[in-house]
C-alpha cells in the first residue's frame, strides 16, 4: 500500500484501502477497487473488514484474481451472488499493523485527513477533508467553512507535513483568489 501517499479515511487500527464495486460470478466473489492499485496490503494481511450502511463483515478472504485497479476476492461465508451484491459500495479496511512500515516522506492518505493547513505566516487556512490521486500528483482537498480548495501534494506547494501535530504548512495561499475550486 505505500506509495508516496495512499488513500483513505481511518481508525487507529484500520486503514481504508478500497471499495467493493460489484459481485463477480455466481459463487459469492466480489470485485474490489483499490485506492492504491500498487498496494500489497492483501499479500500481507489475512484479515479485512467491509463496512456498509447495511452491515459489517470482518473475517478471512481469498484473492482469486486481479482486475485493473483491484482484486477479486472470496469472503469467508459469502457463498452466492445475492450475498456478494449486498456488499457493493462497502468500504474495505485492513489492519494498519499488518502493513509494511512507510519510508520517510511517505504517508497514508488517512493520516493526512483532519490535518490543519497553515500558510507561511501561520494563518489557518482550513482542514484536510480528503486526498485523492489526480494523475500527475496527489491532491489535498482543504475545507474552511463552505469554502473548498485543492492543493497539489508537490514540493512547490508543501513546505512541511507534521503528522505528530496534525499540521501541514503550504506556500502560495496568497494566490488562492485566482484558483477557486
* Residues of the chain where predicted confidence (pLDDT) is lower than 70: 1-12, 176-181
The span from the CA of 116 to the CA of 123, in Å, is 10
Please provide the DSSP assignment of 120-161 as one string: TT--EEEEEEEEEE-SSSEEEEEEETTEEEEEE-STTTEEEE
What cell does 180 get? 477557486
Contact in structure between 16 and 130 (CB atoms under 8 Å): no
pLDDT for 88 equals 96
Helix (H, G, I), strand (E, B) or coil at 97: helix
**Which sequence spans correspond to the domains of the chain?**
5-98, 113-178
The CATH number for 5-98, chosen from 3.40.50.280, 3.40.50.10420, 2.40.30.60, 3.20.20.70, is 2.40.30.60
Read off the pTM: 0.70
What contacts 49, CB < 8 A, 6 or more positions away? 14, 56, 57, 58, 92, 93, 94
pLDDT score at 169:
96
Q: What's the pLDDT score for residue 6?
A: 40
Question: May I ask the CATH architecture of the domain 113-178?
Answer: Roll (2.30)
**What is the pLDDT, as a whole number, of residue 11?**
44
Cβ(70)–Cβ(34) below 8 Å: yes
Residue of 79, 80, 13, 3 whose CA lies nearest to 34: 3
156 neighbors 136 (Cβ within 8 angstroms)? no
Amino acid at each position: 500500500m505505500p506509495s508516496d501517499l495512499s488513500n483513505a479515511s481511518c481508525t487507529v487500527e484500520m486503514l481504508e484501502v478500497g471499495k467493493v464495486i460489484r459481485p463477480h460470478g455466481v459463487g459469492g466473489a466480489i470485485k474490489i477497487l483499490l485506492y492504491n492499485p500498487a498496494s500489497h496490503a492483501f499479500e500481507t494481511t489475512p484479515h479485512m473488514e467491509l463496512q456498509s450502511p447495511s452491515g459489517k463483515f470482518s473475517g478471512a478472504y481469498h484473492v482469486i484474481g486481479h482486475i485493473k485497479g483491484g482484486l477479486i476476492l472470496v469472503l469467508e461465508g459469502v457463498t452466492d451472488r445475492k450475498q456478494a451484491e449486498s456488499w457493493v459500495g462497502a468500504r474495505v479496511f485492513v489492519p494498519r499493523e499488518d502493513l509494511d512500515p512507510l519510508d520517510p516522506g511517505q504517508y497514508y492518505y488517512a493520516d493526512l485527513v483532519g490535518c490543519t493547513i497553515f500558510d507561511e505566516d501561520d494563518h489557518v487556512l482550513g482542514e484536510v477533508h480528503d486526498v485523492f490521486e489526480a494523475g500527475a500528483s496527489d491532491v489535498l482537498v482543504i475545507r474552511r467553512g463552505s469554502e473548498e480548495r485543492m492543493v497539489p501534494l508537490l514540493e512547490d506547494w508543501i513546505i512541511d507535513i507534521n503528522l505528530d501535530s496534525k499540521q501541514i504548512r503550504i506556500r502560495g495561499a496568497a494566490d488562492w483568489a485566482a484558483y477557486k475550486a
